[in-house]
Structure 1
Amino acid sequence: MESKGSTLTKLLLLLNISLVLCASEDFDFFYFVQQWPGAYCDTKQSCCYPKTGKPAADFSIHGLWPNYNDGSWPSNCDPDSVFDKSQISDLVSSMEKNWPSLSCPSSNGMRFWSHEWEKHGTCAESELDQHEYFEATLKLKQKVNLLQTLKNAGIEPDDGFYSLESISDAIKEGTGFAPGIECNRDSAHNSQLYQVYVCVDTSASNLIECPLLPKSKCGSQIQFPKF
C-alpha cells in the first residue's frame, strides 16, 4: 500500500508536468502588425524621426503579439527576462530600417524594442528566445511586403482615398489571407490607413487565417497618406 507521502509526491509530479505542458502552449497565434508611417505622423500628436533620420516611405514593423483565440492576450509574462541588446547586435541595422520608432523624443529604437520584447516577446519564450523573436519578425516583414502588394493593385500612398474593401482584397490577394485593417484620423478627421494585422502560427514562420480580426474603426473610404 502506498503511503500518503508517496501519493502526494506523485500528485505533485503530475501537477508539475501539467503545468509544463500548459506553459508550452501558452498562446494560440501571433498578430504580426505593420504600420504606415504617414498615418502615424499625420495626427495631432505628430511624430519624431529616429536618430538615424527619416525612415523610408514603407510600412514598418509595430510588433509580433501573442494572442488567444478568444480575443484576449497575454502580456508582460516574465519580468525577469529583460531586453538585452547584445543578443540582437547582428540584427540592429535591419531593425533600424524595418522597425524604427517614430515616438517622441527621437530615439535609436532601443526603448521601443525593449517594450515590445518585455510586453509581448516574453509571452512567446516557450517558442522563441530573444534573438529568434526579433529575427522571425524581420523575416515576416520580408514575406509580407504590404506596400508592393497594394501598389500592384493600384493603391498608392498619394493622399488619395480608397475603399476599405479594395485595400483588404488587395492584401488578401497578396498574402492569401484576410487582413485586419486599423485606421486613425488626421487633424481633418479623415480616416487613414494606419495598421495592418496578419496572423501567424506559434512558430512565427507561417501565415494563417486569423481566428479573429481586430475591429477596424475605419470608414468605407480611407486615405492612404503620403510620407
Structure 2
Amino acid sequence: MSDLISFVNQSASTGANTAASSASLAGNFDTFLTLLTAQMQNQDPLEPLDASEFTNQLVQFSGVEQQIQTNTSLNSLLASNNATTGAALSGYLGQNVEINSEGAGFRGEDLSWRYSVASDAAESIIVVKDESGKVVYTENAAKGAGSHDFTWDGTKTDGTQAAQDAVYYTSITAKNHEGNSIETSSRVLTRVTGVDLSYGTPAITTNAGIFSYSDILRLTPN
C-alpha cells in the first residue's frame, strides 16, 4: 500500500523539472553557439548571414533562462515557507483532525469517517470499497440531515477481516421518499502522529496514512 492517500507530490516534481529544464537549456544554448560559430566561419563574404534571426534566438534563450531562474527562486521561497509551516504543524501533534479524503489506510486499527447528508433521507447506506472498487462492507447509515460519524473495524460484510496495508474508501448512498438521490459527502477522522516535510510541501502522518496539510479541514475534539 502506498502510505500516501490524498497527497500529490507536485512541489518535488516541479523542482526536478526546473533542474532538468535548466540543464536542457544550457545544452541547447551550447549547441546553438557552436552552430552559429560554424556558420559565421563558413559564410560567403559577399552574402553575409542575416544577423536578425540570430538576435531573435538569443532573445528567446534569454527569456527562457530568466523564466527558469524565476522558477528556481520561487522553489526556494516555497521551501522556506514549507519549513515555517512544518514548524507550525508541530502544534497539531496528538490532535484529532477531519481530513478532506474519502480514502484511509487500514493497518489493523479502527478507521473513522464523518459523513454528511444534505437532507432527511428515506434510505441511507454506507459503502466501503477497496482500492479496486470492490464493495467489502455495507451498513445502514443515519437518515437525518447533517453530519454523522462512522467507525469501521475492518470486518467485511461476509465476516472475514479486511486485508491490512490497503486503502479503503467510503461513500454514502441516500435517497428521499421519491427515490431521488440526496447529496452526501464523507471525510476521514484521524489523529496526527507526525509532520513530514520530505514531499516538497508540508504533510501530516496519521494512522490512516499521509495527507497534505491543505487536506486538513478542521480540528475535532479529542
Sort the TM-score into its range (normalised by shorter chain). under 0.3
TM-score, normalized by length of structure 1?
Answer: 0.22
More strand by share: 2
The structure having more radius of gyration, on CA atoms, is 2
